[in-house]
């Protein structure tokens, strides 16, 4: 049995779904944030897989790998900013619980 | 990469991903995330993307996770207190996830090209870092510069948002 | 004069941002208003220069075409007005950010929009998923910061968190969608993708799947139902200038990307029609949701948020009617472009007046606008203009926008969308005119005199004039929008091969 | 163009000028207004006399009023035998009534207004007479309706007068509904509304008998309304709320006869349609009989005369229906004289008795109001067909024509002749003979000269109008002359007079009571119920439906529903991030399903 | 010249908002506008026909969009109506206590919009100018109205706003129905295209129904009429006069100018629908009018009802019908304006204008009674007034509709319409009787006869009605050649 592209895509998709589920199910913002990272990485996995699959001149498609690189960088920046906001929120409200931050509604 | 290794690392990635979601303790979640990412890095290696795999370990497992843990510690967040479990929300979220997975499954079934194996590379050992670097700094310079701006902005943001209040 | 390379505009804006940061760091004075005025002047000058940029050039990431130039002007204009707002808003802002002296900590608030502007400008030109992603994230991340900027006000932080989480979620979908598109076509450049789709046999189901994921991400940016949920909360919580920036800049950029991204797929059999159908459904839902949910609102800022969703619906209607290839009446691109231009003017006008009035009435509910016609006929007239334009009364820019949107929909034969559009326009009449009624019918409930800074006054006047001017003479905008097609036909082949 | 061609215009315009002058400038000055009005009508009378003796100028000049392709409506005049005699009748009686009114209306608050309206009426009536086309006739037809409305409602503070005016106008409008439709039908095939053109293209109209009959009957509707035929007769008795000169002029002599005149004018259309003729004759017969029956039990002097008018109008219509327009016009002419006389006489009595109209409160006026009595007698005898007086000749002509057509038209006519004699005798006996039954009646005396002179003139006319004029109206060659007809007519006259005399001589109150007749066959009640049951009900229903269903349910309901939907939609915006993420996911899954799998 | 007619009120309105004396400026502008419209009316060369006084300014060359004004006979007539009613409306305006400048500015905006719509020879501006009146009406009713003014203001604004968009769709659809290379907003060019058959018959039905509904809502076509009575009842007098008298005619003008000449096949296709709806206007609304208990509501309903006659003329699609409809528009505008003007005078005494609260006013207010009587009779079709002449023409036109239409349906509609004449007599006379006849109450005896207020504004309206009523041929000859030219042979 050989590994096909779909194997990777399936793993990536499941990882994405798990992350997504985490966002929907968890109530701690920090963990939600981790789950978002999972989703981004799921995308990375399929990108790399596609990059390996769509060979250009016998080499992986480096466009995609550069994109993965960018995604990782952006994710890091996002984490930094996001955590800063979460910290600021915690300082203001003493909570990281999504159910406690619903003063803006309707 | 041999299928066995693939299954191993895939299982590891997915299992610890589930652990991230399932763990009540944030620290445990964070650590699970690290393990999951390590598995992912291994999968990258299996796809001949060595540079990405290394970056993955360095940036994610190294920097990002430390940041997470650091914040968790800083805010002293304990395990999620046992609040009333919102069953409809859980059921709803679960259903949506299940539906998404089902859709993904069907899509993959219909993706015939994806059922073929990977073609071998032209040469056994590719100069991965050089190629990525070359692409990044030559043709892909513009997005790279924009990323620089992005990081600048993020830096300012973090400074602004978390600088101490001077009393 | 010799044509300026297009990229120099972005470079100039970035330089401005960095200079502002440096001034913030090294200037002794806490009063940064002079610096902001300089920025405003600089950006205004850049708008002037933008008409002289070389209309050719660009590369695999970066297109130089009429659409790009047009949206860059919009981005610059938005940023200018946002800076004016920021000046007007600074006293409120100062209360909610930590600092020793009144002006401290404001410098970043002025410079971040400039960086955002650069991001928006890159988005306008982006024709490769790489640049699209990166510039989109530049914009998004600066918005995370700006929305949560008022650290002492928990509403601002709450808005920041909501925007952060949902924004990141949408980014996840966007990236995953890009992945799929790349995987199926092997390309990230839009022109190359189009080429690939024309030449290669691409499996339809995965393509649709990837496209849908992409639409989720972009739908979030343009506030389309069902990805609109963040909008009211974030708009209400964010500092008002940022709300304005979000509702105009972010949306405009979202639409330009949406238009560009869709282009390669429309011609693919079995894909284009379906995508347009799903966009039409989204458009219908968006119009309905935005306009109907706005009816019972009592807070003006939140009302504008819902209204912004409603307008996204009209814009989506135009996108969903993207069949005409010519630039005549009925073309979706023309409709989107003009609509956004009009929307920009009138929305910025409303928010600017909102800031002034909210400061003097100590609140941004509709009842705080009671009797504004007596307290300040000037502001009342400005806001009247904005409301009329938003509602779509002729002789305002908003009307021409709606006219073009409906023309596109009629051209495409989407009469059910048109019907929903008409119904929701009627709903729009109600809630926009509620403001007018409050201003003109009611007696003022507070009579503190309203003082308006000269720059603000001038901006309000200029925006009011522009709303009418482009409502009567649409040709300047039409000429700007006219030009080569979306994707540069040169340099089709990407370098990565 | 010869001078004569101008005269018709003078006739027509003089009253208009007077009306405009009075309404605009001399409302404040009663005397001046009256003078202007009288002068105008006298001028018209003189001009009419000139025209009468002048040559026939059938095609006097026309003024285009409407000129569209396919629809030319000129304002033009027809001068022929028919219109000439009608001009004389209208202006003659009109002049007398105007003069009479000088006294009758003296001191009335609205004297100027009265004369203004009277002039307006003269203008409109003359317009009908002169009209050379349907549309122009319809214009003036409507105008007489309005002036009639204004004059009936002259004493507008009286509720009954206001009601009567409304009733008259609306009832007439109902008739006009048919009239206009008939005009449209004729026009649609003949291509013109001008009488001469239609006559020239008659074959187009008569091509389809059913169409013709329908059209003619619809046109006849106009006459039914204007000439107060059953079933649209109800307005005329109520119209007696107006000042008596008005009753004399409009509601006895001229306007109500306009229907007859119109039918005579378009007789060329009626002639080819036997079916229409039968209907017209039947309506006429029913009207004359019913009205006569009603008249037998009325107590108001003017109302009795009004029902008598109805009855006589029925005669005329009957005459038209039996294809004897000449007889109809003849009767119209004589009737105008004696009925105007009777009304003016009654007016004199009422005026002298301080607006007492109940005949049972009169009595014994024979001696006190000598001139009035004498002239009234002449009118009375003429009306009941006393041989030798004008009414006898004209009635005889009608009876003859009816007899020739069929016994079923003749018998009601004969019966009516009997009844006429009966109820007029009743009136005559009660009012003039016996004792005065009220204070006012005891002190009655003749009015001033301006009042009695018109009476006298009319009295003379009533007597002699039948001599030497019949050839003017009736065709030269009588079809068949049956001796039995005059004999029966005289018999009916004698029987009726005798009956009335015997029954009512010396009575102080009515010895017989027939509620059916007294209550006018319950027409008013029936119509009131009909209006309440249909129109008012429908109106209320429409009003309700409009307010609650169309406006309430659909317009307000829709806007309410939109608002409500908005209100509900807000609850999606619950503020909880997790809920947002869930809805977001739901949207993703849903849209993927829609796009990829649907 | 036409541009002046449009812009004088606009400039005056701006002047007033910037501080010019309100009433004087407004009146001056109204007089100027009236004189100009009269001048246009008198100097229009009927022999030459077609659009005259043309002037244009390019707006959007990409769409061949120009600011193009011009007037043919129909526009000239409508402009004259605008001039007359505006003058009367501004003249008759009572003393305004609050925000006088805004009041007059709004009125002037309305009239500018109406004049602009009538003078535009460009579809886009035809549409746009009309909308100029929407918001001023909203403000006028809401600020200075009476009774349930807020509800009424909302209803009219949203209803008409929505109607305008339906109309807009129709116009767009019409624009797109023309082959792409020939697309234009220019009505003259469009007319040429239509006459040479370049708007295919199959493509005419859809735009026409949009136009019919869109214009129909603006005209209060049954069943889209429920905005009208309440709005007119609540609106301040001049606003009601302008709206009912002039602005409502815009929809009809649009049908006459755009829908029917350009889309004759579409019009024929939908003729039966229109017949049903217009009978609804005449009979159903007529009956509802009878049921009204307040003068203002009754007048509002009656004006809705009379639209049915105009529609009848339109539906016939022949020269007679269209000409009659055009004249009826003119006539109805004047008569309803006069009625509303006088209702406004009565409102000073009884704000609710309930019919039962009056009575016997003819005794102490003879001038008002006289003038009201004239206007009332004019509106129910008294000969001598233009209403009668035009209604008559409409009936003739409708009885013999254009080829391709089912005459028997039209005959039925004419029967109903004629019955409507009876209905209108019923309600108008009832109202007149309730207000002016009978014995006056004690209070009413003290009310002064508004002789002065009547003198010019109402007299102008009635005089115009009479002139047109006596010489309808002269007025019809303005519009008739135009219709003859555009109607398919």
Task: Write the pLDDT tens digit of every residue in E470-479.
Answer: 889 889 989 9
State the DSSP H helix or E strand holding residue D71, giving kind and residue range, or none if neither.
Answer: strand D71-75
E contacts of C330 (beta carbons < 8 Å): 176
Q: Is the pLDDT of residue C226 over 70?
A: yes
| CB < 8 Å from C in window 9-38 of A | 9, 16, 19-20, 23, 29, 32-33, 36
Instruction: Confirm if D206 and D125 have CB atoms less than 8 A apart.
Output: no
C contacts of B112 (beta carbons < 8 Å): 203
Q: Is the pLDDT of residue C327 over 50?
A: no
| CB < 8 Å from B in window 304-323 of D | none
Q: Is the pLDDT of residue D477 over 80?
A: no
Quote ipTM for the complex.
0.91
Question: Which pLDDT does position C121 carry in this prediction?
Answer: 94
The residues, ordered by sequence, that sit 6+ positions from C176 with a Cβ below 8 Å of its Cβ are A16, A39, A42, A43, A46, C213
Q: What is the mean pLDDT of residues D112-135?
A: 91
Instruction: Confirm if C125 and C68 have CB atoms less than 8 A apart.
Output: yes
Question: Which pLDDT does position C26 carry in this prediction?
Answer: 83
Q: Is the pLDDT of residue D470 over 80?
A: no
Distance between CA atoms of A99 and E155, rounded to whole angstroms? 42
Question: Which pLDDT does position C490 carry in this prediction?
Answer: 36
C contacts of A30 (beta carbons < 8 Å): none
**Mean pLDDT for chain E?**
90
Span D358-367, pLDDT tens digits: 888 888 888 8
Across the interface, do D571 and A99 touch by the CB < 8 Å criterion? no
Instruction: Confirm if D289 and D312 have CB atoms less than 8 A apart.
Output: no
Virtual torsion, Cα E417, E420, E421, E427, nearest 10 deg: -160
Tell me the two tokens of residue C127: 């024709």
Question: Which pLDDT does position E486 carry in this prediction?
Answer: 86
Distance between CA atoms of C232 and A104, rounded to whole angstroms? 8
Q: Is the pLDDT of residue C493 over 60?
A: no
Across the interface, do E477 and D67 touch by the CB < 8 Å criterion? yes
Band of residue D475 on the pLDDT scale cut at 50, 70, 90: confident
Is A23's Cβ below 8 Å from some Cβ in D? Answer: yes
Band of residue C324 on the pLDDT scale cut at 50, 70, 90: very low
Span D255-275, pLDDT tens digits: 888 999 999 999 999 988 889
Number of residues assigned to chain E:
489
Question: Which pLDDT does position D556 carry in this prediction?
Answer: 85
Across the interface, do D68 and E319 touch by the CB < 8 Å criterion? yes
- Cα dist from B63 to B60, C5, C306, whole Å: 6, 39, 40
Band of residue D128 on the pLDDT scale cut at 50, 70, 90: very high
Grouping H, G, I as helix, E, B as strand and the rest as coil, residue D78 is coil
Span D21-46, pLDDT tens digits: 988 888 788 888 899 999 999 999 99
Flag the least confident range among B29-43, C110-124, C231-245, D389-403: D389-403
Cβ-based burial of D367 (10 A; exposed 0-12, middle 13-18, buried ≥19): exposed
Span A34-49, pLDDT tens digits: 999 999 999 999 999 9
B contacts of A78 (beta carbons < 8 Å): 154
Question: Which pLDDT does position B24 carry in this prediction?
Answer: 83
One-character DSSP codes across C242-305: HHHHIIIIIHHHHHHHHHHHHHHHHTSTTTHHHHHHHHHHHHHHHHHHHHHHHTT--BHHHHHH
Q: Is the pLDDT of residue C426 over 80?
A: yes
pTM: 0.92
The residues, ordered by sequence, that sit 6+ positions from D209 with a Cβ below 8 Å of its Cβ are D273, D275
- Cα torsion angle, C415, C419, C424, C428, sign: positive
Is A94's Cβ below 8 Å from some Cβ in C? Answer: no
Nearest to E28 by CA among E6, E14, E9: E9
D contacts of E413 (beta carbons < 8 Å): none
Span E422-455, pLDDT tens digits: 999 999 999 999 999 888 888 877 888 887 777 7
Is D560's Cβ below 8 Å from some Cβ in C? Answer: no
Span D536-553, pLDDT tens digits: 888 889 889 888 888 888
Question: Which pLDDT does position C491 carry in this prediction?
Answer: 37
Q: In tens digits, what is the pLDDT along chain B, a chain of 167 residues?
A: 688 999 999 999 999 999 999 888 888 999 999 999 999 999 999 888 889 999 999 888 888 888 898 888 888 776 555 566 678 888 889 999 999 999 999 999 988 888 888 888 877 777 888 888 888 888 888 999 999 999 999 999 998 888 766 54
Tell me the two tokens of residue D11: 């006739």
Beta-ladder partners of D358: D300
Across the interface, do D589 and B89 touch by the CB < 8 Å criterion? no
Distance from CA of D412 to the nearest CA of E (A): 33
Instruction: Confirm if D267 and D198 have CB atoms less than 8 A apart.
Output: no
For residue E156, give the chain D residue with the closest CA: D555
Grouping H, G, I as helix, E, B as strand and the rest as coil, residue D197 is helix
Question: Which pLDDT does position E446 carry in this prediction?
Answer: 81
Question: Which pLDDT does position C314 carry in this prediction?
Answer: 95
Q: Is the pLDDT of residue D480 over 50?
A: yes
Q: What is the mean pLDDT of residues C213-221?
A: 93
Distance between CA atoms of C418 and D255, rounded to whole angstroms? 60
CB pairs under 8 A between C and D: 84
Question: Which pLDDT does position C67 carry in this prediction?
Answer: 84
Distance between CA atoms of C354 and A18, rounded to whole angstroms? 43
Q: Is the pLDDT of residue C492 over 50?
A: no
Q: Is the pLDDT of residue C326 over 60?
A: no
Q: What is the mean pLDDT of residues D486-514?
A: 86
Angle (CA) D459-D465-D470 rounded to 5° is: 165
**Mean pLDDT for chain C?**
87
C contacts of A91 (beta carbons < 8 Å): 151
Angle (CA) D113-D128-E370 rounded to 5° is: 25
Beta-ladder partners of A60: none
Span D44-66, pLDDT tens digits: 999 898 888 877 665 567 888 88
Across the interface, do E127 and C394 touch by the CB < 8 Å criterion? yes
Distance between CA atoms of A25 and B87, rounded to whole angstroms? 10
Across the interface, do C426 and E139 touch by the CB < 8 Å criterion? no
Nearest to C292 among D565, D592, D595 (CB): D565
Q: Is the pLDDT of residue C28 over 90?
A: no
Instruction: Confirm if C406 and E173 have CB atoms less than 8 A apart.
Output: no
Please report, rounded to a whole number, the percentage of residues in chain D having pLDDT higher than 90.
Answer: 31
More confident residue, D471 or B79: D471
Q: Is the pLDDT of residue C76 over 90?
A: yes
Flag the least confident range among C95-99, C384-388, E138-142: C95-99
Q: Which of D50-54, E64-68, E274-278 has the highest mean pLDDT?
A: E274-278
Nearest to B107 among C61, C142, C206 (CB): C206
Band of residue C487 on the pLDDT scale cut at 50, 70, 90: very low
């Amino acid at each position: 049995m050989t590994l096909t592209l779909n194997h990777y895509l399936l793993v990536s998709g499941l990882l994405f779904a798990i992350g997504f589920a985490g966002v929907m199910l968890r109530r701690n913002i920090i963990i939600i944030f981790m789950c978002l990272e999972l989703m981004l990485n799921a995308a990375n996995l399929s990108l790399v897989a596609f990059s390996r699959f769509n060979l250009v001149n016998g080499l992986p498609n480096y466009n995609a790998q550069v994109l993965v690189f960018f995604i990782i960088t952006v994710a890091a920046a996002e984490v930094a900013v996001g955590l800063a906001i979460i910290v600021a929120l915690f300082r203001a409200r003493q909570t990281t619980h999504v159910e406690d931050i619903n003063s803006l509604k309707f | 990469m041999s299928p066995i290794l693939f299954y191993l690392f895939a299982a590891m990635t997915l299992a610890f991903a589930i652990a991230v979601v399932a763990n009540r303790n944030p620290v445990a979640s964070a650590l699970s995330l690290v393990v999951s990412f390590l598995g992912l890095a291994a999968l990258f290696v299996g796809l001949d993307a060595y540079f990405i795999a290394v970056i993955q370990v360095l940036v994610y497992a190294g920097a990002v996770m430390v940041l997470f843990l650091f914040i968790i510690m800083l805010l002293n967040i304990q395990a999620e207190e046992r609040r009333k479990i919102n069953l409809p929300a859980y059921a709803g979220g679960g259903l949506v996830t299940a539906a998404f997975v089902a859709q993904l499954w069907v899509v993959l079934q219909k993706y015939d090209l994806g059922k073929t194996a990977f073609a071998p590379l032209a040469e056994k050992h590719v100069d991965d870092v050089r190629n990525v670097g070359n692409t990044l700094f030559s043709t892909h310079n513009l997005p790279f510069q924009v990323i620089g701006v992005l990081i600048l902005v993020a830096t300012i943001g973090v400074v602004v948002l978390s600088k101490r209040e001077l009393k | 004069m010799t044509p300026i390379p297009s990229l120099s505009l972005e470079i100039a804006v970035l330089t401005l941002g960095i200079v502002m940061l440096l001034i913030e760091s090294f200037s002794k004075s806490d009063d940064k208003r002079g610096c902001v005025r300089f920025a405003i002047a600089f950006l205004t000058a850049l708008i002037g220069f933008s008409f002289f940029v070389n209309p050719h050039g660009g590369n695999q990431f970066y297109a130089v075409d009429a659409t790009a130039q047009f949206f860059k002007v919009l981005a610059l204009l938005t940023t200018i007005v946002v800076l004016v707002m920021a000046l007007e808003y600074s006293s409120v802002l100062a209360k909610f950010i930590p600092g020793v002296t009144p002006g401290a900590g404001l410098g970043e608030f002025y410079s971040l929009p400039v960086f955002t502007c650069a991001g928006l400008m890159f988005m306008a030109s982006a024709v490769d998923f790489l640049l699209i992603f990166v510039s989109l994230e530049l914009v998004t991340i600066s918005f995370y910061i700006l929305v949560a900027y008022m650290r002492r006000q928990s509403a601002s932080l709450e808005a920041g968190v909501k925007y952060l989480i949902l924004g990141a979620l949408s980014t996840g979908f966007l990236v995953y969608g890009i992945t799929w598109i790349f995987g199926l076509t092997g390309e990230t450049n839009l022109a190359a993708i189009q080429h690939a789709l024309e030449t290669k046999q691409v499996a339809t189901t995965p393509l649709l799947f990837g496209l849908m994921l992409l639409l989720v991400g972009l739908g979030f940016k343009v506030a389309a139902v069902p990805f609109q949920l963040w909008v009211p909360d974030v708009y209400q919580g964010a500092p008002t200038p940022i709300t304005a920036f979000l509702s105009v800049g972010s949306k405009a950029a979202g639409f330009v990307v949406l238009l560009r991204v869709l282009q390669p797929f429309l011609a693919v059999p079995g894909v284009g029609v379906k995508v347009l159908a799903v966009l039409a459904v989204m458009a219908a839902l968006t119009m309905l949701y935005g306009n109907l949910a706005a009816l019972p609102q009592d807070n003006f800022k939140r009302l504008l948020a819902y209204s912004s969703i409603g307008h996204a619906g009209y814009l989506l209607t135009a996108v969903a009617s993207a069949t005409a290839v010519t630039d005549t009446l009925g073309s979706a691109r023309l409709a989107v472009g003009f609509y956004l231009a009009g929307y920009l003017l009138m929305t910025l006008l409303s928010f600017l007046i909102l800031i002034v009035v909210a400061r003097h009435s100590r609140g941004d509910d509709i009842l705080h606008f009671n009797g504004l016609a007596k307290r300040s006929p000037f502001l009342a007239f400005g806001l009247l203009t904005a409301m009329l334009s938003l509602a779509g009364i002729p002789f305002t820019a908003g009307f021409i926008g709606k006219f073009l949107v409906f023309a596109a929909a009629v051209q495409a034969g989407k009469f059910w969308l048109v019907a929903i559009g008409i119904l929701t326009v009627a709903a729009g009449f109600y809630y926009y005119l509620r403001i007018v009624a409050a201003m003109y019918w009611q007696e003022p409930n507070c009579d503190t005199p309203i003082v308006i800074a000269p720059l603000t006054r001038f901006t309000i006047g200029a925006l009011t004039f522009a709303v009418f001017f482009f409502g009567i003479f649409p040709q300047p905008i039409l000429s700007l929008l006219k030009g080569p097609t979306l994707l540069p036909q040169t340099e089709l082949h990407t370098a990565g091969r | 163009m010869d001078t004569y061609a101008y005269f018709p215009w003078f006739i027509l315009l003089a009253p208009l000028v007077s009306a405009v002058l009075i309404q605009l400038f001399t409302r404040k000055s009663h005397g001046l207004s009256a003078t202007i009005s009288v002068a105008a009508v006298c001028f018209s009378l003189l001009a009419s006399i000139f025209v009468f003796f002048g040559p026939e100028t059938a095609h006097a000049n026309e003024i285009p009023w409407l000129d569209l392709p396919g629809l030319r409506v000129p304002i033009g005049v027809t001068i022929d035998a028919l219109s000439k005699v009608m001009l004389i009748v209208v202006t003659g009686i009109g002049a007398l009534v105007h003069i009479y009114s000088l006294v009758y209306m003296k001191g009335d608050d609205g004297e100027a207004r009265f004369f203004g309206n009277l002039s307006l009426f003269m203008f409109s009536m003359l317009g009908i007479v002169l009209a050379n086309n349907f549309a122009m006739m319809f214009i003036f037809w409507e105008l007489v309706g309005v002036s009639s409305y204004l004059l009936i409602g002259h004493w507008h503070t009286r509720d009954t007068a206001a009601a009567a005016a409304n009733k008259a106008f609306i009832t007439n409008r109902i008739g006009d509904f048919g009239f206009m439709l008939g005009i449209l039908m004729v026009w649609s095939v003949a291509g013109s509304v001008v009488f001469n053109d239609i006559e020239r293209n008659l074959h187009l109209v008569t091509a389809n008998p059913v169409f013709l009959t329908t059209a003619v009957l619809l046109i006849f509707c106009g006459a039914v309304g204007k000439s107060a035929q059953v079933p649209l007769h109800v307005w005329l008795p109520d119209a007696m709320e107006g000042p008596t000169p008005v009753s004399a002029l409009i509601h006895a002599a001229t306007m109500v006869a306009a229907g007859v005149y119109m039918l005579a004018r378009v007789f060329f259309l009626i002639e080819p349609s036997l079916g229409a003729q039968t209907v017209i004759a039947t309506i006429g017969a029913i009207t004359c009989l019913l009205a006569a029956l009603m008249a037998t039990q009325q107590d108001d002097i003017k109302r009795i005369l009004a029902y008598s008018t109805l009855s006589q109008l029925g005669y005329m219509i009957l005459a038209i229906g039996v294809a004897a327009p000449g007889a109809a016009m003849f009767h119209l002419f004589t009737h105008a004289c004696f009925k105007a006389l009777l009304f003016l006489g009654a007016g004199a009595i009422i005026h002298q008795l301080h607006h007492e109209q109940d005949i049972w409160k009169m009595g014994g006026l024979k001696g006190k109001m000598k001139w009035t009595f004498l002239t009234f007698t002449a009118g009375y005898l003429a009306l009941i067909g006393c041989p030798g007086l004008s009414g006898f000749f004209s009635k005889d002509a009608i009876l003859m024509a009816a007899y020739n057509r069929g016994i079923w038209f003749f018998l009601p006519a004969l019966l009516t002749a009997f009844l006429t004699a009966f109820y007029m005798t009743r009136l005559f006996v009660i009012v003039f003979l016996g004792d005065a039954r009220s204070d006012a009646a005891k002190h009655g005396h003749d009015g001033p000269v301006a009042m009695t002179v018109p009476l006298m003139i009319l009295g003379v006319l009533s007597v002699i109008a039948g001599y030497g004029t019949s050839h003017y109206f009736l065709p030269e060659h009588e079809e068949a002359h049956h001796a039995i007809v005059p004999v029966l007519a005289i018999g009916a006259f004698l029987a009726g007079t005798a009956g009335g005399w015997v029954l009512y001589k010396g009575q102080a109150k009515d010895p017989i009571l027939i509620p059916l007749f007294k209550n006018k066959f319950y027409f008013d009640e029936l119509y009131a119920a009909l209006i309440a049951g249909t129109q008012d009900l429908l109106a209320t229903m429409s009003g309700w439906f409009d307010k609650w269903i169309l406006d309430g349910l659909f317009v307000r309901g829709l806007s309410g529903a939109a608002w409500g939907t908005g209100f509900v939609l807000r609850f999606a915006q619950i503020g909880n991030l997790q809920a947002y993420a869930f809805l977001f996911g739901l949207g993703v899954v849903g849209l993927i399903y829609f796009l990829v799998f649907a | 010249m036409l541009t002046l007619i449009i812009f004088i009120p606009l400039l005056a309105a701006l002047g007033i908002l910037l501080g010019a004396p309100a009433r004087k400026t407004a009146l001056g502008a109204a007089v100027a506008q009236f004189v100009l419209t009269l001048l246009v009316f008198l100097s229009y060369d009927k022999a030459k026909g077609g659009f005259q006084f043309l002037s244009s300014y390019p707006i959007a060359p990409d769409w061949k969009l120009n600011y193009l004004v011009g007037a043919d006979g129909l526009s000239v007539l409508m402009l004259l109506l605008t001039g007359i009613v505006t003058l009367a409306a501004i003249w008759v305006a009572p003393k305004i206590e609050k925000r006088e400048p805004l009041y007059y500015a709004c009125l002037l905006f309305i009239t500018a919009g109406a004049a602009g719509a009538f003078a535009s020879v460009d579809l886009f501006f035809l549409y746009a100018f009309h909308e100029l009146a929407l918001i001023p009406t909203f403000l006028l009713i809401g600020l200075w109205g009476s009774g349930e003014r807020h509800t009424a203001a909302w209803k009219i604004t949203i209803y008409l706003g929505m109607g305008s968009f339906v109309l807009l769709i129709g116009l767009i659809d019409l624009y797109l129905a023309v082959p792409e290379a020939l697309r234009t907003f220019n009505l003259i060019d469009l007319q040429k295209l239509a006459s040479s058959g370049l708007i295919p018959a199959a493509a005419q039905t859809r735009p026409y129904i949009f136009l019919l509904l869109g214009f129909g809502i603006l005209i209060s076509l049954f069943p889209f009429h429920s905005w009208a009575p309440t709005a007119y009842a609540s609106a301040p007098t001049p606003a009601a006069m302008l709206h009912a008298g002039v602005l409502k005619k815009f929809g009809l003008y649009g049908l006459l100018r755009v829908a029917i000449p350009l889309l004759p096949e579409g019009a024929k296709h939908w003729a039966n629908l229109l017949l049903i709806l217009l009978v609804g206007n005449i009979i159903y609304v007529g009956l509802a009018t009878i049921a009204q208990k307040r003068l203002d509501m009754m007048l509002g309903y009656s004006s809705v009802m009379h639209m049915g006659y105009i529609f009848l003329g339109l539906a016939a699609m022949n020269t007679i019908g269209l000409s009659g409809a055009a004249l009826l528009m003119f006539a109805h505008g004047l008569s309803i304006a006069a009625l509303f003007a006088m209702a406004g005078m009565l409102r000073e005494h009884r704000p609710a204008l309930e019919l039962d609260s009056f009575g016997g006013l003819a005794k102490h207010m003879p001038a008002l009674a006289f003038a009201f009587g004239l206007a009332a009779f004019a509106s129910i079709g008294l000969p001598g007034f233009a209403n009668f002449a035009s209604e008559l023409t409409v009936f003739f036109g409708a009885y013999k509709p254009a080829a391709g239409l089912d005459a028997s349906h039209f005959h039925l509609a004419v029967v109903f319409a004629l019955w409507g004449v009876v209905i209108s007599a019923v309600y108008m006379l009832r109202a007149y009787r309730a207000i002016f006849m009978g014995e006056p109450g004690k209070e009413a005896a003290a009310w002064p006869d508004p002789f002065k207020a009547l003198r010019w504004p109402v007299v102008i309206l009635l005089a115009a009605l009479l002139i047109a009523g006596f010489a309808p041929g002269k007025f019809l000859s303005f519009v008739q050649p135009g219709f003859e030219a555009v109607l398919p042979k």
